[in-house]
Chains A and B, each alone.
Chain A
Amino acid sequence: GESVGLHLPTLSVQEGDNSIINCAYSNSASDYFIWYKQESGKGPQFIIDIRSNMDKRQGQRVTVLLNKTVKHLSLQIAATQPGDSAVYFCAENASNTGKLIFGQGTTLQVKP
């Protein structure tokens, strides 16, 4: 069945360093992927997305890479800041109904 998983449950980085959060997905038919950031007590916040016809997409301080060959997704955050501390989820979609499948999340801790 479909599943989305994250390789590391917690990632601790020094302020100013770059962060890389990884995600594996199992459904080769998935054609749309989203990264969300969730702070304590809040709803998931859209960060960046990528469609399967792309390998890379950049936003402000964030980059998402998609490797369809090995069904792997990563989120890179440049110059990580304390405000980046949160749980990060990847989500995949394999239908046009928008039924997202979420991974369990990675906690990013930024050390000052």
Chain B
Amino acid sequence: DAGITQSPRHKVTETGTPVTLRCHQTENHRYMYWYRQDPGHGLRLIHYSYGVKDTDKGEVSDGYSVSRSKTEDFLLTLESATSSQTSVYFCAIRTDSGGAQWTQYFGPGTRLLVL
């Protein structure tokens, strides 16, 4: 599991409420990613981080923000949750610090339901 944990694993919330998902890693990897997975789609990148306080947008970043105040934690925030954000969210890490040889491992996921 590459030392990745996600919390919570399941969450039900109401439209308009803020939600924060946490990804925690124990192996000091520089790169971390947030993806969402919906039926009929593969995983799609939301945001990623290439270091503490260094983040950038992915393919589907609208409605999401992220923060990385320390190496081990990467937070994904839905400022005002909408039903279209009902999804399964996966965190991933990259197993290097920018060299040519790397790969990507995923956490167990957080299942979010927005009512």
Chain B interface: which of A57-65, A67-75, A77-85, A91-99? Answer: A91-99
User: Residue B45 contacts which of A4, A34, A42, A99 (CB distance < 8 angstroms)?
Assistant: A99
Is A98 within 8 A of B33, CB to CB? yes
Expressed in whole angstroms, the Cα–Cα distance for A49 and B56 within the complex equals 25
B22 adjacent to chain A (CB < 8 Å): no
Q: A4-B42, A44-B90 are in contact. Are A99 and B109 (CB under 8 A)?
A: no
Interface residue tally for chain B (C-beta within 8 Å) = 23
- Chain A, residue nearest B33 (CB): A98
Chain B 71-115 near chain A by CB (<8 Å), digits 1 or 0:
000000000000000000010001000100011111111000000
Q: Determine how close the nearest CB of chain A comes to the CB of B28; give it in whole angstroms.
A: 16
Expressed in whole angstroms, the Cα–Cα distance for A100 and B94 within the complex equals 11
Q: Which residues in B have their C-beta under 8 angstroms from that of A99?
A: 33, 45, 48, 58
Expressed in whole angstroms, the Cα–Cα distance for A34 and B50 within the complex equals 20
User: Residue A43 contacts which of B41, B58, B90 (CB distance < 8 angstroms)?
Assistant: B90
Chain A interface residues (CB < 8 Å from chain B): 4, 34, 36, 41-46, 49, 89, 91, 96-100, 102-105
